[in-house]
Each structure stands twice: as structure tokens, then as C-alpha cells.
């Protein structure tokens, strides 16, 4: 039988730590969450390769390194209330839930949301709520958030997400074209002031939602 704990530790050492992730909260969380439970049936043997894998509805479970890099960049800390847009399999929400106090994870595909909800329940993660809906509008009833992580790429930063950040809150979102984006970090410095920075090139599946974005919208930096 496969030794998943050994595979997990190896993944963290080789694909996460050696590539520069230093945040011990993130490293410990990734040593703990059983990714083999979040991949599609028959794919468990590939769960600890550093690659995205197909899940239902033509979507993907993100590459472990990018999950780690986004959570580290979002500076998720114990006590934080976090919104994840694009719950997919529920894996990233589970990793965030190992660190934060409360995670709200939104997924637009009902079938994916239902499977993710079932997984986090079965694994006993009682601080994670998976909600079906359009995450471009955020989740006003549970705002403000200390961190918002968007796992799909849009043409611009949705205004609703910026407004739902707590002062001092961090928003990570891939911004750009359909198959190439930059990872944009937005920090809410005061009620009215935001600081944006460009963390480098990424490729995510498209963020599809109702909030109107400008086609040529770009991260400021």
C-alpha cells in the first residue's frame, strides 16, 4: 500500500521547500492535508507530483507549489478569516483551513462544490464552509476577510473583492488573458487606499463571473 505520508513529506521537501517556500505554517499544512483524497478517482498515485490534475467539470486541482506560494504570499495566519474563490476540489481550502480560523470557499459548479463539501466534512475540517456561487461578487455576509485567494484568472481585480478586504487584508488574484496571467497581490492599506504588486507569471483556468471587468484591465504594477 502507498505510503502517502512519506510521499507528502517528499513533495514538501523537494517541490515546495527547495523552491523557496519558507513559511512554516504553509509547510506544516501541506505535510498534513491528504491530497490523494482531493484528486479524481484513479489518480491518487499522482497526487504528490507537482502538477495540476484534471477534476470534474473540465477544471483542475492546482499544482501544489502554486497553492503553497499563494498562501505564503497571502500571509495567512492563525486567527484569520479567509475567502477562497474557486474551491474546485477543496484542496487549497483544506490547506488554508489548517492555518486560518475560518475559510469560506466559493465554487461556481454545483457538482464540484458538493464533492468538495463532502470531502472536507469526511476529513473532519469543521472550519471550512464550501458555498456554491459566483465568487467575483465575494461573500458580503461574511466580510471583511483578512485574506482572499482567487484560484482562477480574470482580466482585472473585481472591485467587490477589494471592498471585502479588512484593512491590512491581502488579496491574491491571477490577472491577465485567458492562458497567461500575472499573480497580483493587493493589500488594503486604509479604508480608501490599496497597494498592488506583481508577483510574476502564472497560468490559471478562467475566472467566470457576473461582475463586469474591463477587457484591458491590468494589475497596476
Residues taking part in catalysis: 62
Q: Which is nearer to ligand SAM, 108 or 188 (CB)?
A: 108
In the complex, the smallest distance separating the C-beta of residue 158 from ligand SAM, rounded to whole angstroms, is 9
In the complex, the smallest distance separating the C-beta of residue 211 from ligand SAM, rounded to whole angstroms, is 8
Q: Which is nearer to ligand SAM, 46 or 167 (CB)?
A: 46
Q: Which is nearer to ligand SAM, 105 or 165 (CB)?
A: 105
Answer for the pair 119, 89: CB distance below 8 angstroms, yes or no.
Answer: yes
Cα angle for residues 123, 126, 129 (degrees, 5° grid):
105
Nearest residue to ligand SAM by CB is: 86
In the complex, the smallest distance separating the C-beta of residue 24 from ligand SAM, rounded to whole angstroms, is 21
Q: What is the DSSP letter of 84?
A: E
Write out the three cell numbers for 143.
466580510
d(C-alpha 92, C-alpha 73), whole Å? 14
In the complex, the smallest distance separating the C-beta of residue 75 from ligand SAM, rounded to whole angstroms, is 18
d(C-alpha 175, C-alpha 137), whole Å? 16
| Distances in whole angstroms, Cα of residue 143 to Cα of each of 24, 68, 147, 165, 198 | 27, 24, 10, 7, 25
- CA 117 to chain centroid, in Å, comes to 15
In the complex, the smallest distance separating the C-beta of residue 186 from ligand SAM, rounded to whole angstroms, is 17
Exposed/middle/buried for residue 82 (C-beta within 10 Å: 0-12, 13-18, 19+):
buried
Exposed/middle/buried for residue 64 (C-beta within 10 Å: 0-12, 13-18, 19+):
buried
Q: Which is nearer to ligand SAM, 165 or 207 (CB)?
A: 207
Q: Which is nearer to ligand SAM, 118 or 189 (CB)?
A: 118
Residues that bind ligand SAM (CB under 6 A): 59-62, 85-89, 91-92, 106-109, 112, 134-136, 151-152, 204-205, 207-209
Amino acid at each position: 500500500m502507498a505510503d502517502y505520508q512519506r510521499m507528502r513529506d517528499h513533495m514538501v521537501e523537494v517541490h515546495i521547500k527547495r523552491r523557496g517556500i519558507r513559511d512554516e505554517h504553509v509547510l506544516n499544512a501541506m505535510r498534513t492535508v491528504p491530497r490523494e483524497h482531493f484528486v479524481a478517482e484513479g489518480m491518487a498515485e499522482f497526487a504528490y507530483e507537482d502538477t495540476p490534475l484534471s477534476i470534474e467539470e473540465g477544471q483542475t486541482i492546482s499544482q501544489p507549489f502554486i497553492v503553497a506560494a499563494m498562501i505564503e504570499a497571502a500571509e495567512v495566519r492563525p486567527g484569520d478569516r479567509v475567502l477562497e474563490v474557486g474551491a474546485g476540489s477543496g484542496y487549497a481550502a483544506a490547506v488554508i483551513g489548517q492555518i486560518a480560523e475560518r475559510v469560506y470557499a466559493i465554487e461556481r459548479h454545483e457538482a464540484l462544490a458538493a464533492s468538495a463539501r463532502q470531502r472536507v466534512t469526511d476529513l473532519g475540517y469543521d472550519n471550512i464552509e464550501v458555498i456554491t456561487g459566483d465568487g467575483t461578487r465575494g461573500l458580503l455576509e461574511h466580510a471583511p476577510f483578512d485574506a482572499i485567494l482567487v484560484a482562477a484568472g480574470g482580466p482585472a481585480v473585481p472591485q467587490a473583492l477589494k471592498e471585502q478586504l479588512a484593512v491590512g487584508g491581502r488579496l491574491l488574484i491571477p490577472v491577465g488573458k485567458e492562458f497567461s496571467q500575472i499573480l497580483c497581490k493587493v493589500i488594503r492599506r486604509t479604508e480608501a487606499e490599496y497597494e498592488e504588486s506583481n508577483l510574476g507569471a502564472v497560468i490559471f483556468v478562467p475566472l467566470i463571473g457576473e461582475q463586469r471587468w474591463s477587457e484591458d484591465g491590468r494589475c497596476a504594477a
